[in-house]
A and B are shown apart, each in its own frame.
Chain A
Protein backbone atom coordinates (compact mmCIF):
# COMPACT_ATOMS: atom_id res chain seq x y z
CA UNK A 1 0.00 0.00 0.00
CA UNK A 2 1.43 3.32 -1.04
CA UNK A 3 1.95 5.84 1.76
CA UNK A 4 2.24 9.60 1.37
CA UNK A 5 2.74 10.16 5.10
CA UNK A 6 4.94 7.89 7.17
CA UNK A 7 4.10 6.82 10.73
CA UNK A 8 6.32 9.45 12.29
CA UNK A 9 4.60 12.25 10.38
CA UNK A 10 1.10 11.07 11.23
CA UNK A 11 2.03 10.52 14.88
CA UNK A 12 3.42 14.04 15.01
CA UNK A 13 0.08 15.46 13.88
CA UNK A 14 -1.74 13.48 16.58
CA UNK A 15 0.79 14.44 19.26
CA UNK A 16 0.17 18.10 18.56
CA UNK A 17 -3.59 17.73 18.51
CA UNK A 18 -3.69 16.61 22.10
CA UNK A 19 -6.99 18.24 22.88
CA UNK A 20 -7.35 21.27 20.66
CA UNK A 21 -10.50 22.24 18.90
CA UNK A 22 -8.61 21.26 15.77
CA UNK A 23 -8.28 17.62 16.81
CA UNK A 24 -10.07 16.74 13.55
CA UNK A 25 -6.80 16.25 11.58
CA UNK A 26 -5.77 13.90 14.36
CA UNK A 27 -8.96 11.92 13.90
CA UNK A 28 -8.17 11.64 10.17
CA UNK A 29 -4.72 10.40 11.16
CA UNK A 30 -6.28 7.77 13.40
CA UNK A 31 -8.43 6.61 10.48
CA UNK A 32 -5.32 6.32 8.31
CA UNK A 33 -3.58 4.19 10.93
CA UNK A 34 -6.64 1.98 11.27
CA UNK A 35 -6.84 1.48 7.51
CA UNK A 36 -3.15 0.51 7.46
CA UNK A 37 -3.79 -1.97 10.26
CA UNK A 38 -6.79 -3.41 8.43
CA UNK A 39 -4.75 -3.82 5.27
CA UNK A 40 -1.89 -5.45 7.19
CA UNK A 41 -4.28 -7.72 9.07
CA UNK A 42 -5.91 -9.18 5.99
CA UNK A 43 -2.47 -9.64 4.40
CA UNK A 44 -1.60 -12.01 7.21
CA UNK A 45 -4.64 -14.23 6.59
CA UNK A 46 -4.28 -17.55 4.82
CA UNK A 47 -5.83 -17.97 1.40
CA UNK A 48 -7.00 -21.56 1.74
CA UNK A 49 -9.83 -21.31 -0.79
CA UNK A 50 -10.77 -19.21 -3.79
CA UNK A 51 -13.41 -17.61 -1.64
CA UNK A 52 -10.81 -16.59 0.92
CA UNK A 53 -8.70 -14.99 -1.74
CA UNK A 54 -11.66 -13.03 -3.08
CA UNK A 55 -12.57 -11.81 0.41
CA UNK A 56 -9.05 -10.58 1.07
CA UNK A 57 -8.66 -8.95 -2.35
CA UNK A 58 -11.93 -7.12 -1.78
CA UNK A 59 -10.82 -5.89 1.66
CA UNK A 60 -7.35 -4.95 0.41
CA UNK A 61 -8.74 -2.95 -2.49
CA UNK A 62 -11.25 -1.11 -0.30
CA UNK A 63 -8.61 -0.42 2.35
CA UNK A 64 -6.17 0.93 -0.24
CA UNK A 65 -8.79 3.18 -1.83
CA UNK A 66 -9.97 4.45 1.55
CA UNK A 67 -6.39 4.97 2.69
CA UNK A 68 -5.56 6.98 -0.42
CA UNK A 69 -8.72 9.03 0.07
CA UNK A 70 -7.93 9.77 3.74
CA UNK A 71 -4.31 10.66 2.99
CA UNK A 72 -5.51 13.12 0.34
CA UNK A 73 -7.99 14.45 2.87
CA UNK A 74 -5.20 14.95 5.42
CA UNK A 75 -3.03 16.65 2.83
CA UNK A 76 -5.84 19.02 2.01
CA UNK A 77 -6.91 19.90 5.54
CA UNK A 78 -3.32 20.54 6.61
CA UNK A 79 -3.06 22.97 3.72
CA UNK A 80 -6.38 24.63 4.55
CA UNK A 81 -5.43 25.02 8.21
CA UNK A 82 -2.00 26.36 7.31
CA UNK A 83 0.24 23.68 8.80
CA UNK A 84 3.92 23.78 7.89
CA UNK A 85 4.01 20.91 5.44
CA UNK A 86 7.76 20.34 5.79
CA UNK A 87 7.89 20.14 9.59
CA UNK A 88 4.21 19.31 10.14
CA UNK A 89 4.01 21.96 12.82
CA UNK A 90 0.60 23.15 13.89
CA UNK A 91 -0.04 26.84 13.14
CA UNK A 92 0.19 29.08 16.19
CA UNK A 93 -3.33 30.39 15.58
CA UNK A 94 -4.78 26.91 16.08
CA UNK A 95 -2.82 26.34 19.27
CA UNK A 96 -4.59 29.25 20.94
CA UNK A 97 -8.06 27.84 20.35
CA UNK A 98 -9.78 26.51 23.43
CA UNK A 99 -10.57 22.86 23.87
CA UNK A 100 -13.96 21.87 22.61
CA UNK A 101 -14.84 18.40 23.68
CA UNK A 102 -12.96 17.92 26.92
Chain B
Protein backbone atom coordinates (compact mmCIF):
# COMPACT_ATOMS: atom_id res chain seq x y z
CA UNK B 1 0.00 0.00 0.00
CA UNK B 2 1.26 3.46 -0.85
CA UNK B 3 -0.32 5.18 2.14
CA UNK B 4 1.19 4.88 5.61
CA UNK B 5 -0.79 3.10 8.31
CA UNK B 6 -4.37 4.01 7.42
CA UNK B 7 -6.61 4.20 10.45
CA UNK B 8 -9.80 2.24 9.99
CA UNK B 9 -12.87 2.04 12.16
CA UNK B 10 -15.00 -1.06 11.77
CA UNK B 11 -18.65 -0.89 12.76
CA UNK B 12 -20.08 -4.38 12.94
CA UNK B 13 -22.82 -5.57 15.25
CA UNK B 14 -21.77 -9.20 14.92
CA UNK B 15 -18.69 -10.40 16.77
CA UNK B 16 -17.87 -13.25 14.38
CA UNK B 17 -17.91 -11.20 11.18
CA UNK B 18 -16.03 -8.34 12.88
CA UNK B 19 -13.26 -10.75 13.85
CA UNK B 20 -13.00 -12.03 10.28
CA UNK B 21 -12.84 -8.57 8.80
CA UNK B 22 -10.26 -7.33 11.28
CA UNK B 23 -8.16 -10.40 10.71
CA UNK B 24 -8.31 -10.03 6.92
CA UNK B 25 -7.59 -6.32 7.12
CA UNK B 26 -4.53 -7.01 9.23
CA UNK B 27 -3.32 -9.60 6.72
CA UNK B 28 -3.59 -6.95 4.01
CA UNK B 29 -1.42 -4.55 5.99
CA UNK B 30 -4.12 -2.50 7.69
CA UNK B 31 -2.58 -2.75 11.12
CA UNK B 32 -4.48 0.16 12.62
CA UNK B 33 -8.01 -1.15 12.27
CA UNK B 34 -10.24 -0.94 15.31
CA UNK B 35 -13.74 -2.19 15.99
CA UNK B 36 -16.28 0.12 17.54
CA UNK B 37 -17.07 -1.28 20.97
CA UNK B 38 -20.66 -0.02 21.05
CA UNK B 39 -22.77 2.58 19.21
CA UNK B 40 -22.68 4.77 22.33
CA UNK B 41 -18.89 4.91 22.11
CA UNK B 42 -18.83 6.37 18.58
CA UNK B 43 -18.18 10.02 19.51
CA UNK B 44 -15.40 9.12 21.91
CA UNK B 45 -13.89 6.66 19.44
CA UNK B 46 -13.78 9.21 16.61
CA UNK B 47 -12.26 11.80 18.94
CA UNK B 48 -9.64 9.56 20.51
CA UNK B 49 -8.81 7.61 17.33
CA UNK B 50 -9.63 9.71 14.25
CA UNK B 51 -10.30 7.34 11.35
CA UNK B 52 -9.30 7.63 7.69
CA UNK B 53 -12.08 5.28 6.60
CA UNK B 54 -15.12 3.87 8.37
CA UNK B 55 -16.16 0.35 7.33
CA UNK B 56 -19.74 -0.54 8.14
CA UNK B 57 -20.76 -4.19 7.91
CA UNK B 58 -24.49 -4.20 7.36
CA UNK B 59 -26.56 -7.15 8.55
CA UNK B 60 -29.97 -7.73 7.04
CA UNK B 61 -31.49 -8.60 10.41
CA UNK B 62 -30.35 -5.26 11.92
CA UNK B 63 -31.84 -2.64 9.56
CA UNK B 64 -31.74 0.07 12.23
CA UNK B 65 -27.97 -0.33 12.33
CA UNK B 66 -27.78 2.03 9.35
CA UNK B 67 -28.49 4.97 11.61
CA UNK B 68 -25.00 4.79 13.05
CA UNK B 69 -23.61 5.76 9.63
CA UNK B 70 -25.63 8.96 9.89
CA UNK B 71 -24.21 9.60 13.33
CA UNK B 72 -20.68 8.91 12.10
CA UNK B 73 -21.19 11.34 9.22
CA UNK B 74 -22.45 13.98 11.61
CA UNK B 75 -19.42 13.55 13.86
CA UNK B 76 -16.80 13.17 11.12
CA UNK B 77 -18.30 14.41 7.83
CA UNK B 78 -14.99 14.24 6.00
CA UNK B 79 -14.35 10.55 6.73
CA UNK B 80 -15.61 8.23 3.96
CA UNK B 81 -17.96 5.42 4.95
CA UNK B 82 -17.81 2.10 3.10
CA UNK B 83 -20.77 -0.19 3.67
CA UNK B 84 -20.41 -3.93 3.11
CA UNK B 85 -23.80 -5.33 2.24
CA UNK B 86 -25.19 -8.67 1.13
CA UNK B 87 -26.69 -8.93 -2.35
CA UNK B 88 -30.43 -8.72 -2.89
CA UNK B 89 -32.96 -6.74 -0.84
CA UNK B 90 -30.33 -5.60 1.67
CA UNK B 91 -28.29 -4.04 -1.11
CA UNK B 92 -31.35 -2.30 -2.50
CA UNK B 93 -32.28 -0.97 0.94
CA UNK B 94 -28.82 0.35 1.72
CA UNK B 95 -28.28 1.89 -1.71
CA UNK B 96 -31.58 3.76 -1.46
CA UNK B 97 -30.75 4.94 2.06
CA UNK B 98 -27.25 6.03 1.01
CA UNK B 99 -28.65 7.93 -1.97
CA UNK B 100 -31.23 9.65 0.19
CA UNK B 101 -29.03 10.55 3.16
CA UNK B 102 -25.56 10.80 1.54
CA UNK B 103 -24.19 9.15 4.66
CA UNK B 104 -22.41 6.33 2.82
CA UNK B 105 -19.88 6.92 0.05
CA UNK B 106 -19.44 3.39 -1.29
CA UNK B 107 -21.52 0.25 -1.03
CA UNK B 108 -19.64 -3.03 -1.57
CA UNK B 109 -21.39 -6.33 -2.12
CA UNK B 110 -20.88 -9.37 0.08
CA UNK B 111 -19.33 -11.89 -0.11
CA UNK B 112 -16.03 -10.12 -0.66
CA UNK B 113 -14.63 -12.38 -3.30
CA UNK B 114 -11.47 -10.58 -4.40
CA UNK B 115 -8.94 -7.82 -3.68
CA UNK B 116 -11.16 -4.99 -4.84
CA UNK B 117 -12.55 -4.21 -1.40
CA UNK B 118 -9.09 -3.83 0.12
CA UNK B 119 -7.83 -1.74 -2.80
CA UNK B 120 -10.86 0.49 -2.41
CA UNK B 121 -10.24 0.95 1.33
CA UNK B 122 -6.58 1.64 0.62
CA UNK B 123 -7.44 4.27 -2.03
CA UNK B 124 -10.02 5.97 0.17
CA UNK B 125 -7.61 6.04 3.11
CA UNK B 126 -4.85 7.50 0.92
CA UNK B 127 -7.21 10.20 -0.37
CA UNK B 128 -8.32 11.00 3.16
CA UNK B 129 -4.74 11.17 4.43
CA UNK B 130 -3.76 13.44 1.55
CA UNK B 131 -6.73 15.72 2.24
CA UNK B 132 -5.85 15.84 5.92
CA UNK B 133 -2.19 16.64 5.17
CA UNK B 134 -3.29 19.40 2.83
CA UNK B 135 -5.65 20.78 5.45
CA UNK B 136 -2.91 20.77 8.11
CA UNK B 137 -0.56 22.49 5.70
CA UNK B 138 -3.21 25.08 4.95
CA UNK B 139 -3.76 25.69 8.66
CA UNK B 140 -0.02 26.08 9.24
CA UNK B 141 0.17 28.51 6.32
CA UNK B 142 -2.79 30.55 7.50
CA UNK B 143 -1.07 31.01 10.85
CA UNK B 144 1.88 32.74 9.15
CA UNK B 145 -0.01 34.44 6.33
CA UNK B 146 -2.31 37.42 7.00
CA UNK B 147 -5.99 36.58 7.06
CA UNK B 148 -6.62 39.20 4.38
CA UNK B 149 -4.05 37.48 2.16
CA UNK B 150 -5.89 34.17 2.46
CA UNK B 151 -9.14 35.89 1.52
CA UNK B 152 -7.41 37.60 -1.41
CA UNK B 153 -6.02 34.25 -2.59
CA UNK B 154 -9.50 32.79 -2.55
CA UNK B 155 -10.71 35.54 -4.85
CA UNK B 156 -10.25 35.30 -8.61
CA UNK B 157 -6.83 36.31 -9.97
CA UNK B 158 -8.03 39.63 -11.39
CA UNK B 159 -9.47 40.66 -8.01
CA UNK B 160 -6.45 39.97 -5.83
CA UNK B 161 -5.63 43.67 -5.47
CA UNK B 162 -7.86 46.00 -3.56
CA UNK B 163 -8.08 49.65 -2.48
CA UNK B 164 -10.10 50.56 0.57
CA UNK B 165 -10.50 52.97 3.47
CA UNK B 166 -8.77 51.66 6.56
CA UNK B 167 -7.09 52.52 9.80
CA UNK B 168 -3.46 51.42 9.79
CA UNK B 169 -1.80 50.59 13.08
CA UNK B 170 1.95 50.24 13.49
CA UNK B 171 3.92 49.16 16.52
CA UNK B 172 7.67 49.23 17.01
CA UNK B 173 9.82 48.17 19.96
CA UNK B 174 11.78 51.00 21.51
CA UNK B 175 15.54 50.73 22.12
CA UNK B 176 15.58 47.42 20.30
CA UNK B 177 19.23 47.77 19.29
CA UNK B 178 20.26 48.00 22.95
CA UNK B 179 17.98 45.13 23.89
CA UNK B 180 19.41 42.94 21.12
CA UNK B 181 22.96 43.77 22.23
CA UNK B 182 22.23 43.02 25.88
CA UNK B 183 20.34 39.76 25.39
CA UNK B 184 21.26 36.40 23.85
CA UNK B 185 19.51 36.05 20.44
CA UNK B 186 17.22 33.28 21.68
CA UNK B 187 16.12 35.32 24.70
CA UNK B 188 15.41 38.36 22.56
CA UNK B 189 13.39 36.31 20.06
CA UNK B 190 11.39 34.76 22.87
CA UNK B 191 10.61 38.18 24.31
CA UNK B 192 9.79 39.56 20.88
CA UNK B 193 7.47 36.70 20.01
CA UNK B 194 5.73 37.05 23.34
CA UNK B 195 5.18 40.75 22.73
CA UNK B 196 4.07 40.40 19.13
CA UNK B 197 1.78 37.51 20.04
CA UNK B 198 0.06 39.62 22.68
CA UNK B 199 -0.24 42.53 20.26
CA UNK B 200 -1.81 40.26 17.63
CA UNK B 201 -4.33 38.90 20.11
CA UNK B 202 -5.41 42.43 20.97
CA UNK B 203 -5.71 43.39 17.31
CA UNK B 204 -7.86 40.32 16.74
CA UNK B 205 -9.97 41.13 19.80
CA UNK B 206 -10.79 44.52 18.33
CA UNK B 207 -11.59 43.15 14.87
CA UNK B 208 -8.37 44.13 13.13
CA UNK B 209 -6.13 42.02 10.88
CA UNK B 210 -2.39 41.65 11.31
CA UNK B 211 -0.80 42.08 7.89
CA UNK B 212 2.79 41.40 8.85
CA UNK B 213 5.46 41.58 11.48
CA UNK B 214 8.03 44.24 10.63
CA UNK B 215 11.05 42.97 12.52
CA UNK B 216 10.47 44.50 15.94
CA UNK B 217 6.92 45.58 15.26
CA UNK B 218 3.64 44.84 13.62
CA UNK B 219 1.41 46.30 10.94
CA UNK B 220 -2.33 45.83 11.25
CA UNK B 221 -5.38 47.22 9.50
CA UNK B 222 -8.94 47.84 10.67
CA UNK B 223 -11.72 47.97 8.12
CA UNK B 224 -15.45 48.47 8.12
CA UNK B 225 -17.88 50.24 10.40
CA UNK B 226 -16.50 51.55 13.67
CA UNK B 227 -12.91 51.08 12.57
CA UNK B 228 -11.72 54.38 14.11
CA UNK B 229 -13.13 53.50 17.50
CA UNK B 230 -11.90 49.91 17.41
CA UNK B 231 -8.42 50.79 16.18
CA UNK B 232 -7.96 53.55 18.71
CA UNK B 233 -9.36 51.42 21.51
CA UNK B 234 -6.90 48.69 20.50
CA UNK B 235 -4.01 51.16 20.36
CA UNK B 236 -4.85 52.52 23.79
CA UNK B 237 -5.05 49.00 25.17
CA UNK B 238 -1.58 48.36 23.74
CA UNK B 239 -0.25 51.36 25.69
CA UNK B 240 -1.41 49.87 28.97
CA UNK B 241 1.55 49.43 31.34
CA UNK B 242 0.86 45.72 31.75
CA UNK B 243 1.16 45.25 27.98
CA UNK B 244 4.46 47.09 27.87
CA UNK B 245 6.37 45.12 30.48
CA UNK B 246 8.17 42.64 28.24
CA UNK B 247 9.47 44.89 25.45
CA UNK B 248 8.18 48.48 25.54
CA UNK B 249 6.96 49.76 22.19
CA UNK B 250 5.35 52.79 20.55
CA UNK B 251 2.23 52.82 18.38
CA UNK B 252 1.24 54.87 15.33
CA UNK B 253 -2.30 55.03 13.96
CA UNK B 254 -3.38 56.70 10.69
CA UNK B 255 -6.43 56.56 8.47
CA UNK B 256 -7.01 56.82 4.73
CA UNK B 257 -6.94 54.80 1.55
CA UNK B 258 -4.65 51.79 1.37
CA UNK B 259 -3.75 49.53 -1.50
CA UNK B 260 -3.71 45.82 -0.68
CA UNK B 261 -2.46 42.97 -2.78
CA UNK B 262 0.34 40.56 -3.53
CA UNK B 263 3.78 42.06 -4.04
CA UNK B 264 6.17 40.19 -6.32
CA UNK B 265 5.78 38.02 -9.38
CA UNK B 266 5.74 34.32 -8.56
CA UNK B 267 6.50 33.46 -12.20
CA UNK B 268 9.65 35.54 -12.59
CA UNK B 269 12.77 36.73 -10.80
CA UNK B 270 12.84 35.46 -7.22
CA UNK B 271 9.49 33.72 -7.69
CA UNK B 272 8.39 35.11 -4.33
CA UNK B 273 5.15 36.83 -3.41
CA UNK B 274 3.81 38.31 -0.23
CA UNK B 275 0.63 40.08 0.74
CA UNK B 276 1.01 43.69 1.85
CA UNK B 277 -0.73 47.01 2.21
CA UNK B 278 0.93 50.09 0.77
CA UNK B 279 0.25 53.78 0.26
CA UNK B 280 0.56 57.15 1.97
CA UNK B 281 -1.61 56.08 4.91
CA UNK B 282 0.83 53.26 5.68
CA UNK B 283 3.75 55.71 5.51
CA UNK B 284 1.96 58.11 7.82
CA UNK B 285 1.19 55.39 10.37
CA UNK B 286 4.86 54.31 10.31
CA UNK B 287 6.00 57.87 10.74
CA UNK B 288 3.61 58.45 13.64
CA UNK B 289 4.85 55.25 15.21
CA UNK B 290 8.44 56.47 14.97
CA UNK B 291 7.42 59.60 16.90
CA UNK B 292 5.69 57.68 19.67
CA UNK B 293 7.48 56.96 22.90
CA UNK B 294 7.23 53.62 24.65
CA UNK B 295 3.67 53.08 25.80
CA UNK B 296 2.34 55.96 23.73
CA UNK B 297 0.04 56.17 20.67
CA UNK B 298 0.67 58.87 18.10
CA UNK B 299 -2.35 59.48 15.93
CA UNK B 300 -4.28 62.27 14.23
CA UNK B 301 -7.01 64.43 15.77
CA UNK B 302 -9.34 63.22 13.00
CA UNK B 303 -9.11 59.65 14.25
CA UNK B 304 -9.68 60.73 17.84
CA UNK B 305 -12.78 62.66 16.73
CA UNK B 306 -13.98 59.78 14.52
CA UNK B 307 -13.60 57.40 17.42
CA UNK B 308 -15.69 59.69 19.64
CA UNK B 309 -12.77 59.78 22.03
CA UNK B 310 -12.76 63.53 22.55
CA UNK B 311 -12.73 62.98 26.29
CA UNK B 312 -9.15 61.75 26.18
CA UNK B 313 -6.46 64.15 27.26
CA UNK B 314 -3.54 64.10 24.82
CA UNK B 315 -0.13 63.63 26.38
CA UNK B 316 1.21 66.06 23.77
CA UNK B 317 0.42 67.68 20.45
CA UNK B 318 2.83 67.71 17.53
CA UNK B 319 2.96 67.89 13.75
CA UNK B 320 4.72 65.81 11.16
CA UNK B 321 5.83 66.58 7.62
CA UNK B 322 5.38 63.78 5.15
CA UNK B 323 6.13 63.60 1.44
CA UNK B 324 2.89 63.50 -0.55
CA UNK B 325 0.94 65.45 2.06
CA UNK B 326 0.31 69.18 1.91
CA UNK B 327 1.88 70.99 4.83
CA UNK B 328 2.40 69.43 8.19
CA UNK B 329 0.03 66.90 9.66
CA UNK B 330 -1.22 67.53 13.15
CA UNK B 331 -0.83 64.65 15.54
CA UNK B 332 -1.57 63.88 19.16
CA UNK B 333 -0.02 61.58 21.70
CA UNK B 334 -2.30 59.42 23.85
CA UNK B 335 -2.01 56.94 26.68
CA UNK B 336 -4.73 54.82 28.19
CA UNK B 337 -6.33 56.35 31.28
CA UNK B 338 -5.32 54.26 34.28
CA UNK B 339 -8.90 53.61 35.38
CA UNK B 340 -9.86 51.94 32.07
CA UNK B 341 -10.59 48.23 32.70
CA UNK B 342 -8.40 45.75 30.82
CA UNK B 343 -9.83 43.89 27.81
CA UNK B 344 -7.57 40.86 27.94
CA UNK B 345 -4.91 39.63 30.30
CA UNK B 346 -1.53 41.28 30.13
CA UNK B 347 1.51 39.58 28.65
CA UNK B 348 3.02 37.21 31.16
CA UNK B 349 6.75 37.19 31.54
CA UNK B 350 8.33 33.83 30.73
Q: Which residues of A are at the interface with B, using a C-beta cutoff of 8 A?
A: 7-8, 10-12, 14-20, 23, 26-27, 29-30, 33-34, 36-37, 95, 99, 101-102
Contact = CB atoms under 8 A, between A and B. Distances in A.
Interface in B49-101: 57, 59-61, 84, 86-90
B16 interface: yes
Given A20-B20, A23-B113, A26-B110, A15 B87 contact: no
A102 B57 CA distance: 17
B86 A15 contact: yes
Contacts of B110: 14-15, 17-18, 26
Interface residues of B, number: 24
Contact of A10 (B84, B88, B115): B88
A33 B117 CA distance: 22
B177 to A, nearest CB: 70
B61 A18 contact: no
B89 A14 contact: no
A29 B90 CA distance: 12
6 contacts: A15-B61, A15-B110, A16-B16, A20-B20, A99-B24, A101-B114
B118 interface: yes
A15 B94 CA distance: 14
Nearest to A34: B87
B137 to A, nearest CB: 36
A27 B111 CA distance: 8
B112 A18 contact: yes
A26 B111 CA distance: 7
Interface in B7-35: 14, 16-17, 20-21, 24
A1 to B, nearest CB: 14
Nearest to B91: A33
B95 to A, nearest CB: 13
Given A14-B87, A16-B17, A102 B115 contact: yes
Those 10 A-B pairs whose CB atoms lie nearest each other, nearest first: A11-B60, A33-B88, A14-B86, A23-B111, A30-B87, A7-B89, A26-B111, A19-B112, A11-B86, A17-B111
Contact of B88 (A19, A30, A99, A102): A30
Given A27-B111, A99-B24, A15 B88 contact: no
Contacts of A102: 24, 112-115, 117-118
A19 B60 contact: no
A7 B60 CA distance: 9
A30 B87 CA distance: 6
Contacts of A17: 110-111
A33 B21 contact: no
B12 to A, nearest CB: 9
**Interface hub of A14, A27, A29, A99 (most chain B Cβ within 10 A):** A14
Contacts of B87: 14, 29-30, 33-34
B17 A33 contact: no
Contacts of B86: 11, 14-15, 26, 29
A99 B113 CA distance: 9
**Interface hub of A8, A11, A17 (most chain B Cβ within 10 A):** A11
Given A95-B16, A99-B24, A102-B24, A19 B111 contact: yes
Contacts of B17: 15-16, 18
Contacts of B61: 8, 11-12, 15
Given A16-B17, A99-B24, A102-B117, A11 B90 contact: yes
B60 A18 contact: no
A14 B24 CA distance: 17
